[in-house]
């Protein structure tokens, strides 16, 4: 079965808000680092979707 990750509108808004904050306070390299970390976690979730509990 192929899995996908669906972001809620609130999750998208918060994600971009975090990126804006990082850009303003810490700069471009922090933004790229954060994006890389999020992408790694999302990739891992797609490869192993049952590593998290759903309540």
Sequence ranges of the domains in the chain: 9-49
b/e map 20-34, b = 16+ CB within 10 Å: eebeeeeeeeebeeb
Question: What's this model's pTM, rounded to 2 decimal places?
Answer: 0.85
Express each pLDDT in 12-30 by its tens digit.
999 999 999 999 999 999 9
* pLDDT value of position 55: 66
Q: Please say whether the beta carbons of 34 and 22 come within 8 A.
A: yes
pLDDT at 50 over 90: no
Phi/psi for 27 (5° steps) reads 100, 175
Handedness of CA 36, 42, 19, 37 (dihedral sign): negative
pLDDT band, very low/low/confident/very high, at 40 (cuts 50, 70, 90): very high
């Amino acid at each position: 079965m192929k899995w996908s990750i669906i972001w809620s509108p609130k999750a998208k808004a918060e994600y971009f808000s975090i990126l804006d904050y990082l850009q303003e306070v810490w700069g471009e390299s922090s933004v790229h680092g954060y994006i890389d970390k999020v992408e790694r976690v999302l990739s891992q979730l797609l490869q192993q979707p049952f590593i998290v509990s759903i309540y």
